[in-house]
Structure 1
């Protein structure tokens, strides 16, 4: 780009900025030549310091900066002038051109200031949270919906119609008391644990509340750690027949890649792999594991595998004591009783021996020799 073209570009940019953002000198000149004479001729007779009709004293405005400082009032002034309401009919009337020039001059000052302050929100008043904001904040902090503001008065709406403006969200002494009560309600949900703090979905204010919370926590723990035995048996079968390039993969690594429990899966696999070393375990279980063929594909599920799963499920039922109904009428319905049954069953299962599956012989009999048989069966009685 030549120097001449660069000079023209800079000159055009200067004119554009000058026209779109008039300088303060031009605004002052327009004020002195248009606004001030208009006010002196048609307005200050009624709107002066001695008798400010409508509590409006127009003699105090001496520069464009005065208009900017009271822009809301001047917006109302130009609306009255544009609508023909001012000056009143019984006063000296300006021409349409004079009124138009006044409106344009004042509006130019306001637009120039608005462009200069674009992006500035102005003074942000300190305010409290609205009821909705407070409820959502407590929910985000505690993880539960407590709704501590359910008995708060409704948030007032400001002139704009919004209920989250600083002008509307003030604080009164009675509202401070409600905030203290709301904080107490939130604190009632607090639960002290060995690993920190948590919040219950209901107030914890009595021993029964805490017992219920503990029972629910135990049940939730078991639900989160529920193990689908067939899924683990299938995984153990596939790990046993893994590809040669994965021969060095440990059961823990395989469980991690398959998103299985890294503690229980290795125990299951080592148990199945060591069945042949434990003669006390049922022979059919050993044979079912030994006879499993290698998977033909990723979706392969041979009948031998289904037989193994069926055997394991049957043994689990045989070793598991029957559970009573979890919910009984007029019995308190404490889930902890169900958990106690499971604990007793697990304790009995840990004492397992091979004798659980060995038949018990009560009496061995064999045919008597013919010479020893009594002629009359009644003699046996």
Structure 2
């Protein structure tokens, strides 16, 4: 079995959910006997080994542009892959759905992990939203197998594009606190702060969370981890908010430090709106957090309604009241914290996800005519 993976920035480079997915899944597939080839953004790698942890690497050029770098890299990677004897090509990101036309012409079996509802994200207004909707539709027309990472996302693709998909969720690794000294730089005390993690973009609802928190009477702090790598009005508005309880850390690139921020929080507040199975939500559970989540079908699928988290809406006062109520119910906070990792072990371990991909790939290969 020979597999090509196209659409991430590469391996072992880790930047976002796609790269984490590639870094977790591909070396394990290699250990299971699959010959895995990952296509990488050449400009991101100073050193260019041909193989790391059994994963074979191809470094491909791209147009150095925020909007065109990934698409151009995927296009050139696809041209390269079409002339090699891969049994299956796995794409990540629905934007790569247009390349299904080429793989179909060359009789290459293709799988695509479409991720979230990109065309609904506020940052892709106008033409950008139309492009993502078009590429997602193309994926459903030309790719052999569509992978969605949540049952609720599967339902949306069925309704919107009349195409069924295979549900394989995202994963997370269980871990525990090991060095609380790592958060001392922000003068934080254990269980005395709320935490939000993510890019400062509208669909993560950071501004709403901050405004609700500021309106509350909480004596705890709110730690905001994340930023955007470009000048942005929404992010600027968030960072201009002044309140002695709010701490902006910017990006936290050290994995151990980020883990300690999760481990020692009073509660993690999840405002992500348009994804499927969200990596930061899974990480919060895997790290043992009490979760307060925006009430979406995706949050409810992961948290099994109220079993593993509590909810707020975008309505004025909803999160404010949840914050004030949860601080009076410490038994509930501790119960949710104790249960959190149980949910990962049930359904979101990387070992389970890898086995699902392994079985799917062999099923596809066996059906090649």
- Superposition TM-score tier, normalisation by shorter sequence: under 0.3
- Pick 1 or 2: higher relative contact order, CA cutoff 8 A, min separation 6: 2
Q: Report the TM-score, using the length of structure 1 for normalisation.
A: 0.20
Q: Which has the higher helix share?
A: 1
Q: Which has the higher strand share?
A: 2
Q: Report the TM-score, using the length of structure 2 for normalisation.
A: 0.21
